[in-house]
Amino acid sequence: MPEKISASLRAAIEATDRNHADKKTFDTLVLLDDASTREYLDRLHEIDERDPDAFFDREAVLANIRRLAACNNRDLLRFLASGSDGPAPAPVRSYWINNAVQARLTRRMIDIVKRRWDVVRLELLDSPDAKAFLPAIASDAKSAGRCDIDAAVPQNASRIGAEALWRRGINGEGVIVAVVDTQVNRSHPDLADRMSPDPGGGAPHGDECACDGNDLSADTYHGTLSAGLIAGDGKSGLKTGLAPGAMMMSVGIGLPETTAWCGYQHALLRGADVIAQSASWAPDLKKNPHGFRPKYAAWRRACEIIMAARVPHACSVKTSADEARKRKSPLAIPFNIPAPANAPPPWRHPAQILVGGRSSAMACGAADQDGRLIPESGMGPASWSERPFEDYPFDPPSKNGLIKPDVCSYARGACSCSNQFPEKEPAYLPHGGASAATSYLGGCLALLVSACRSARRPVLPSRLQQALEATAAPLVGQKRMKQDQYGAGLINVEAAYDYGRERRWW
């Protein structure tokens, strides 16, 4: 029987003082069997392949996914609530986005739960070090380069082709982008009118994800920079956003991975059309060999649900490329691409030889204005050879894993909105690194979704990805149409728009 308890959870259990072993609890993530959900997703994929223009009812799809998840976890939740083996664990939270249950379990309860037929894996729900969590703000600032606040439109908007699409009447209008990041400065004049009200009611501004452990809830620095590059509309003098007509949903997250999964659920149920996520999770094992590891299977399951909802998903690949080829580094290939960017994208490029599953994750690397990768851009490939997926194995030279990143964008010369304006000057700050590149990809996806809506055509993430990759410009050093480290090259959203228009995708 395959081992169900993760190495980090086992290490935590073994490190417990024997005198207190029966009383100590561990914050545990229980991944449940999702065969019924997977069958449903397979049927959806078949329909997309057979008749991509068929009527799509997103609300019905999400309702079915939530119903299946409830059926899958019902027995476990009842067992945990019964307290049949001692006091019922508290709190207990379930996540339909990846068919998982979170609970504080004793060692004895873990031993009982692992024997259940419907349990696939038990993981320790730890968190990374705060300094290693979000793409480091300090390094992003160093990667920013010069911020030209005197220009009416930043040069990157022209380089990426967004400004040309504005002149053609495409500016992201009618699209809601979920910014999965720290919170956003809603008082900035360039963002105030771009924040989406919540159609479902709830939080005062409608779109925060209230999760336990959200220890970054008060921070607005990084989230504001990300939001400004997506939809900053220029009311203070500089149009920083690639999709200045789009609306944004601020999905504030914290250190625990569960806050992002909660955020995904919130975004999907509240009508987000695009997810732009500069936050990423990478192994943090420098001080402890059993330290933080992302819950990769849970991330991939979540990305499969996002794809089933037909929501394009921009992900950051910020890590340390210097660590990628060090054999003993926890960030060595194929673990250099963080979660969720290491999940498969919605479209399989012809250069991707190994065939496997698909999901939502469009991973974005980072380059300078000369088309050279910056050191903070992560290096693929990724691999999914472990259960339950067992695809994209990495065993060179015959098995080369999953190509990552998928595309690249600019990581230098970005100007975005300040989290302290209008209380404090200036209105704009430099931004850079993979965070900026990913926000640019999110803005491009918003423009293409807007084009689909204007043409009354269905939004298929696979088409958006294909258009962006087929028209991307090669980077310095890139030798193939799509390859590890470079992806398909530098994106140009106007070229992608023309590519899709020729095929009547929008």
Quick: pLDDT tens for 203-258.
333 334 444 444 455 678 899 999 999 999 999 999 999 999 999 999 988 888 99
Side-chain half-sphere of 232: how many Cα atoms within 13 Å? Answer: 34
The burial class, CB within 10 Å (0-12 / 13-18 / 19+), for 176 is: buried
CA 101, 73, 383, 407: dihedral to nearest 10 degrees?
-80
Query: Of how many residues is the chain composed?
Result: 506
Confidence band for 401, pLDDT divided at 50, 70 and 90: very high
106-165: per-residue pLDDT in tens? 999 999 999 999 999 999 998 877 665 654 544 555 555 566 665 556 789 999 999 999
Mean pLDDT of 362-386: 92
How do 119-124 and 25-32 pair as beta strands?
antiparallel
Mean pLDDT of 397-408: 94
- Output the CA–CA distances (angstroms, integers) from residue 458 to 49, 56, 267, 314, in the order listed: 13, 8, 19, 19
Q: What's the mean pLDDT when you consider all of the chain? A: 88
Q: Domains (ranges, CATH) in the chain?
A: 7-124 (no CATH), 140-502 (3.40.50.200)
pTM: 0.93
- pLDDT above 80: residue 477: yes
Closest CA to 196 of 181, 186, 188: 186
27: left (phi over 0), alpha (psi -120 to 50) or beta: beta
- 110: Cβ–Cβ under 8 A, 6 or more apart, which residues? 5, 9, 13, 26, 28, 122
Q: Residue 131: what pLDDT?
A: 60
The terminus-to-terminus CA distance of the chain in angstroms comes to: 49
Mean pLDDT of 311-316: 98
In the three-class reduction of DSSP (H, G, I as helix; E, B as strand; rest coil), residue 31 is classed as: strand
In the three-class reduction of DSSP (H, G, I as helix; E, B as strand; rest coil), residue 464 is classed as: helix
Which helix (H) or strand (E) element contains residue 206? none
Mean pLDDT of 478-483: 95
Bridge partners, 106 (sequence order): 25
Amino acid, single-letter form, for residue 240: T
Q: Residue 210: what pLDDT?
A: 44
Whether the CA torsion 69, 75, 77, 78 is positive or negative: it is: positive
DSSP alpha helix (H) spans, 232-326: 257-269, 296-308
- pLDDT above 60: residue 43: yes
Angstrom distance (rounded) from CA 464 to CA 470: 10
Percent of the chain with pLDDT over 70: 85
403-422: per-residue pLDDT in tens? 999 999 999 888 999 998 88
Q: Residue 320: what pLDDT?
A: 66
Percent of the chain with pLDDT over 90: 68
Name the DSSP class of 161.
T
Q: Residue 64: what pLDDT?
A: 98
Mean pLDDT of 353-371: 95
Contact between 140 and 280 under an 8 Å Cβ cutoff? The reply is: no
Q: What is the DSSP string of 340-395?
A: TTTSPPSS--TT--S-----SEEEEEEE-TTS-B-TTB----B-B-STTT-BS-EE
Mean pLDDT of 159-178: 97
Q: Residue 322: what pLDDT?
A: 63
- 403: Cβ–Cβ under 8 A, 6 or more apart, which residues? 349, 351, 352, 380, 381, 482, 483, 484, 487
